[in-house]
């Protein structure tokens, strides 16, 4: 009985899990190429984007999770990861007006800049890629866009390929 439950949990949505792993590897090749060019991204940016790709891929191993909840968990994991990595410390502000609320957001969210923006963009690209691999036509478009990215990036890169 217990063996059957584990088998059902592990084999449920196995296509999506394999797609998540392959999508992470696919996107990581872009990170590696950008990393190899000196001065384009800081090492911290590479670390945060790589960690973000890893955390997003892990969330696809949670069985039977609705896409909306998965997206919320992914966002919270990205913010948590940046909070740990950036040494976040909570700044309390007494909120009695909209200006104070905006000030509180700026003081707390501003501690995660600028790396959070790279990771959020990587998250959006990961989500778009996961959506793209669900049909043949979108996979073809994704491959074409990837080749165009590499071709354009190679034209303006200092790395000889």
Place of tokens 């034209």: 155
**How many structural domains is the chain composed of?**
1
Give the DSSP letter of residue 160: -
Quote the domain boundaries for residue 23: 2-85+113-155
Rounded-to-integer distance, Cα 130 and Cα 86, Å: 28
> What pLDDT tens digit does each residue of the chain (161 aa) get?
556 766 666 667 788 889 999 999 999 998 998 888 777 888 899 999 999 999 999 999 888 888 999 999 999 999 999 888 888 777 777 778 888 888 887 877 777 788 889 999 999 999 999 999 888 999 899 999 989 988 888 888 777 66
pLDDT at 7: 67
Rounded-to-integer distance, Cα 100 and Cα 118, Å: 27
CA dist list (Å): 15 to 19, 22, 84, 122, 125? 6, 11, 32, 22, 19
DSSP-derived 3-state class of residue 156: coil
Place of tokens 């790396």: 115
131 in any annotated domain: yes
93-125 pLDDT, tens digit per residue, is: 777 888 888 888 787 777 778 888 999 999 999
pLDDT at 31: 92
94 in any annotated domain: no
């Amino acid at each position: 009985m217990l063996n059957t439950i584990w088998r059902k949990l592990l084999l449920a949505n196995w296509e999506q899990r394999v797609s998540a792993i392959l999508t992470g590897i696919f996107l990581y090749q872009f990170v590696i190429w950008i990393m190899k060019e000196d001065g384009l991204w800081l090492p911290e940016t590479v670390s945060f984007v790589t960690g973000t790709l890893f955390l997003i891929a892990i969330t696809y191993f949670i069985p039977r999770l609705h896409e909306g909840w998965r997206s919320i968990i992914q966002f919270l994991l990205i913010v948590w990861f940046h909070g740990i990595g950036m040494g976040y410390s909570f700044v309390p502000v007494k909120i009695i007006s909209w200006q104070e609320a905006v000030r509180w957001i700026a003081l707390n969210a501003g501690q995660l800049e600028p790396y959070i923006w790279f990771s959020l963009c990587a998250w959006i690209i990961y989500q778009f890629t996961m959506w793209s691999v669900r049909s043949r036509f979108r996979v073809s478009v994704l491959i074409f866009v990837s080749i165009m990215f590499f071709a354009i990036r190679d034209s303006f890169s200092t790395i000889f390929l």
